Amino acid sequence: MEKNKLNGKKIPWWKKTTIYQIYPRSFKDSTGNGIGDLKGIISKLDYIQDLGVETIWFSPFYSSPQGDFGYDISDYLNIAPEYGTMNDFDDLVKNIHNRKMKIVMDLVLNHTSAQHKWFIESKKSRDNPKRNWYVWKDGKKPFGKAPPNNWKSYVTGSGWHYDSHTDQWYWASFLPFQPDLNYRNPDVKENMMEMIRFWLRKGVDGFRLDILGAVYEDPKFRDNPLSWKLIPSDESMDMLFRSSKYTTNYPDNYEFAKDLREVIDEFTDPPRFLLGEVSGSREELRNFCGKDSPDGLNLVFLFESMGAQLTAKNFRKLIKDFEKYFPDPYIPTWVFSNHDIIRRISRFKEQGAIEKAKINTAFQLTVRGVPTIYYGEEIAMRQNFLPLEKSLDAVSFKFKKFPRIIRNLLLKITNYAIHRDGCRTPMQWNRTETAGFSPSRTDTWLPVHPNYKLVNVENSIEDKDSLFYCYQRFLKLRQKTPALNSGNITLLDAKKIPKNILGYTRSAIFNGNEQTVHVYLNFGNKLVSFQIPEPNFHLIISTSISSQPLNGQNITLQPFEGIILGD
């Protein structure tokens, strides 16, 4: 049988991969200006490879005025000078591919920067050739000085912005300086598709697609109806008692996902993939991948996991739900931190946080799906709760006027920080000044977390039972074990194992040979002993290097310990 075949079918690489997200501004500064850059990243590729991940996703480093730190693009075909040059990018691709790894770029299709040459032209006059490249609309009477309708932006407040020069309003789903492109104009769509091909020709292996559900809005510009939701969630962008029916996940977006898939499928050696940042019900998320067959996005983020409480019951339910809506040949994703939300470990109490992070890691890297790890998660980097008053994040500007009691309430009821600086602070490499992030200065673009002398890569590598090595052990095992990186999943009967234990098997027929592994995760804070059905299981891996959990058919798991057994 042909190599690399699972259950008789060849599995595309992106279904088996593990993804590591880098926020380029914060990973490694090679120049001493306090800002991370491409050469700095290249210098640390051996570290990432040694960790055991296979694909690197980069937040944007295109040309940008940096109003939203790269998510406001002024030129899609060039590199922002603070990050490097196109030659540096080519070196990055070459160095990643030389290590048998893949590169994924962040792509913001919904909007550009207001400083993009297209929008500068678009604002000049109503009859400018680029006018219809963006979403412009007359205001309501009297005198057109009220917004065209009641649509809200993702960051609260009207998404319509008045331009006195042309006496019309432009639509921006996110921040005011990020005007939405008009994809109902075929010239816009053609230009953006060709831009995608440009990067694919340069060797990019895939794209993470920013707020894809906002690309198309209702062409009739109808008011969004009433909603009873106050705060947005992973399932809905409704907020402040206003629905997002006509501005998020409008049906044309699902067809657009298929159009994007057709473009990337033009490139087959190797195959490329698309990972969408979308929010909505599970049915809506599935629609982005293809309602009846997987002919849309290859993957979508399933953000429910981010806020999931660390219990066997919660994770069991998530597995069931994700498997229901994303069964093979679809595949779920598992993500717990990113550049927009509070770091996962900071949601755990300090005492026992490392053990909880280890069990979270064991789950993420053994369940069926594609895991995404945010830079620094592997060394237990925590959220740096910086003062809102000094925030650089443009999203935070709306919240600075809120009373502190309201800010604290928002932090408690949502995963999203009221400013995002705290999860974007510089990577902590060692115990030296600036945590080894910058070679020559202390004035880094964001302050390094004060705990950097304790929490850093250097210390993690010196401690053989650190979170870093837990990640590394599970990642390397996942790389070489088809049952883990590609196999089916079967949940064990919850009634036959202790309450705080989550158990499942992963199995596959690989190259004609059957392979099964058994996963047991203790989500409780107490030691648990129980029996397993087979006396001949052997221990493959544990979250703890000192544990001896197996004695015949008896398993004894320490608090927050996870293990994998083999037949």
Task: Exactly one of 91, 265, 277, 458 is catalytic; name it.
Answer: 277
- 480 backbone φψ class: left, alpha, beta (φ>0; ψ -120 to 50): alpha
Among residues 522, 519, 478, 494, the alpha carbon closest in space to that of 359 is found at 522
Does residue 156 sit within a domain? no
207 with 297, same domain?
yes
Q: Examine the pLDDT at 84 and tell me if it is beyond 90.
A: yes
pLDDT of residue 375: 98
Q: Using 50, 70 and 90 to split pLDDT, how confident is the model at 408?
A: low
Does residue 558 sit within a domain? yes
DSSP code at position 494: G
- C-alpha 562/C-alpha 508 separation (Å) is 21
Mean pLDDT of 436-450: 92
Q: Examine the pLDDT at 2 and tell me if it is beyond 90.
A: no
Helices (H), 52-122: 86-98, 117-122
pLDDT tens, position by position, 91-125: 999 999 999 999 999 999 999 999 999 999 999 99
544 with 420, same domain?
no
Residue that wins the pLDDT comparison between 246 and 411? 246
Mean pLDDT of 281-297: 96
What distances in angstroms separate CA 350 from CA 117, 224, 347, 408, 550, one per listed residue?
A: 49, 43, 9, 19, 29
Structure tokens at 13: 């690489």
Q: What is the DSSP string of 422-488?
A: GGSPPP--SSSGGGGSSSS-S--SSPPPGGGGTSSHHHHHH-TTSHHHHHHHHHHHHHH-HHHHT-E
Structure tokens at 256: 């657009």
- C-alpha 187/C-alpha 194 separation (Å) is 11
Per the CB < 8 A criterion, the answer to whether 563 and 542 are in contact is yes
Does residue 127 sit within a domain? no
Q: How many contiguous H segments (helices) and E segments (strands) does the chain have?
A: 14, 23
459 with 493, same domain?
no
pLDDT of residue 351: 86
405 with 528, same domain?
no
Q: Around Cβ 392, how many Cβ atoms within 10 Å?
A: 14
**Looking at residue 520, which CATH number applies to its domain?**
2.60.40.1180
Mean pLDDT of 152-164: 91
**How many distinct structural domains can be found in the chain?**
2
Residue 265 is among the residues annotated as catalytic for this protein: no
pLDDT tens, position by position, 171-213: 999 999 999 999 999 999 999 999 999 999 999 999 999 999 9
- C-alpha 372/C-alpha 20 separation (Å) is 6
Does residue 171 sit within a domain? no
450 with 513, same domain?
no
Domain of 280 in residue numbering reads as 17-110+186-211+248-471
Does residue 133 sit within a domain? no
Helix (H) or strand (E) holding 289: helix 282-289
Residue 277 is among the residues annotated as catalytic for this protein: yes
Mean pLDDT of 151-171: 93
Q: Which of 471, 496, 518 is the last residue of a domain?
A: 471
463 with 493, same domain?
no
Task: Exactly one of 37, 210, 304, 323 is catalytic; name it.
Answer: 210
Does residue 118 sit within a domain? no
199 with 327, same domain?
yes
DSSP code at position 394: G
451 with 509, same domain?
no
Q: Residue 131: helix, strand or coil by DSSP? A: helix
Does residue 502 sit within a domain? yes
Share of the chain above pLDDT 90, in %: 82
- C-alpha 135/C-alpha 218 separation (Å) is 11
Q: Examine the pLDDT at 232 and tell me if it is beyond 70.
A: no
pLDDT tens, position by position, 373-388: 999 999 999 999 888 8
Does residue 165 sit within a domain? no
Pick from 241-250, 399-408, 440-449: least confident: 399-408
Per the CB < 8 A criterion, the answer to whether 88 and 39 are in contact is yes
Amino acid at 435: A
323 with 452, same domain?
yes
Q: Around Cβ 407, how many Cβ atoms within 10 Å?
A: 16
